[in-house]
Amino acid sequence: MSQKLEKLIDKKGLRLDGRKPDELRPIKIEVGALSNADGSAYIQQGKNKILAAVYGPKELHPKHLALPDRMVLRCRYHMAPFSVQERKSPAPSRREIELSKVIRESLEPSIFIEYYPRTSIDLFIEVLQADGGTRCASITAASLALADAGIPMRDLVAACAAGKVDGTIVLDLMDTEDKVGTADVPVALMPNLNAITLLQMDGILTLEEFEKAVNLALEGCRKIYTMQKEALKAKYIAVKEVEE
């Protein structure tokens, strides 16, 4: 887009979808959405719709890829051809391969990978509908899928982005804001340990703006974390209430 068609933030300080600058999109999370996977989760964040599935731990094939001292986490981030406006080729693109690596590296510190050497975990992330911030929503869902599979973890990983749009620092960018805006800072956090596992920046920010954006994103992560925990517990609390 060479020319700006519309103002991204109106006179009242509200964004295109009526959110305040520090407001998240509505989030719906479901754990255990797939019955054939060892663990799975489904997330809707605004118009994003993402499925994550975990298989394993299991023996690694081909065997020569197995590591003698830790397990191998393999991750595939994939966008469905119908997930965006213009049909996307189903073959993995440069961007998808990079995101697979980024997501893997942001989840690996949360798992006790040294507990089960010579094994592997396969993680599949399928983006059914994309509207900006899919890498963050994917991390949020994938972490829940791992917990659902019963893999020992240090903490759940919650992820959220912040950025700069029309000169204002805003939380949880959607597609238009991401493309037209000046900067995007995705952050992933293990909230209980207060450890950041992913920090990227795309665009230009001053030092002060960057600090503000990171802090805003961290706050967003903590909000998402409480929703994650509720979603994980919801599966079991429902059974308990019916029976007691």
Partner 1 sequence: MPTFFERRQLVTPGDLLAEGQYIAGENTYKEDDKIYASRIGVVEYQDKKVNVVALRAFYVPRVGDTVIGTIVEVGFNGWMVDINSPYLALLRASDVLSRPFKPQKNDLSEVLDAGDLVIAKIIAYDRAHNPQLTVSEPGLGKITRGQVVKVTPTKIPRVIGRKGSMVSMIKQETGCHIILGHNGIILITGKSLENEQLAIMAIRKIEEESHTTGLTDRIVQMIKKEKEKGKQKEEDKNESET
Phi, psi of 169 (to 5 degrees): -85, 125
d(CA 54, CA 112): 16
211 binds partner 1, rule: CB under 8 A: no
* Span 65-84, contacts to partner 1 by CB under 8 A: 68
> Can you list the alpha helix ranges (DSSP code H) found in the chain?
94-107, 134-148, 175-180, 207-243
Nearest CA among 238, 200, 239 for reference residue 217: 200
* Span 171-190, contacts to partner 1 by CB under 8 A: 190
Place of tokens 């240090």: 154
233 binds partner 1, rule: CB under 8 A: yes
103 binds partner 1, rule: CB under 8 A: no
153 binds partner 1, rule: CB under 8 A: yes
DSSP code, position 65: G
Of 82 and 115, which has the nearer Cβ to partner 1? 115
Please choose, out of 122-130, 162-170, 199-207, 235-243, the segment that lies near partner 1 by the rule CB under 8 A: 235-243
CB burial of 47-66 (b: ≥16 within 10 Å; e: otherwise) equals ebbbbbbbbbbeebeeeeeb
Among 51, 123, 149, 188, contact with partner 1 (rule: CB under 8 A): 149
Of 82 and 236, which has the nearer Cβ to partner 1? 236
Please choose, out of 128-136, 165-173, 216-224, 234-242, the segment that lies near partner 1 by the rule CB under 8 A: 234-242
Among 6, 86, 208, 243, contact with partner 1 (rule: CB under 8 A): 243
Phi, psi of 179 (to 5 degrees): -75, -40
Rounded to an integer, what is the distance from CA 117 to the centroid of its chain? 27
Of 13 and 68, which has the nearer Cβ to partner 1? 68
**Cβ(153)–Cβ(197) below 8 Å:** no
Among 122, 126, 131, 155, contact with partner 1 (rule: CB under 8 A): 155
126's CB contacts (< 8 A; 6+ apart) are 50, 51, 52, 53, 78, 80
Of 147 and 165, which has the nearer Cβ to partner 1? 147
Min dist. Cβ of residue 40 to partner 1 (A): 11
122 binds partner 1, rule: CB under 8 A: no
150 binds partner 1, rule: CB under 8 A: yes
41 binds partner 1, rule: CB under 8 A: no
192 binds partner 1, rule: CB under 8 A: yes
Burial of residue 201 (number of CB atoms within 10 Å: 0-12, 13-18, 19+): middle
**Cβ(180)–Cβ(5) below 8 Å:** no
Binding site for partner 1 (CB under 8 A): 38-39, 56-59, 68, 112, 116-119, 147-156, 190-193, 228-229, 232-233, 236-237, 239-240, 243-244
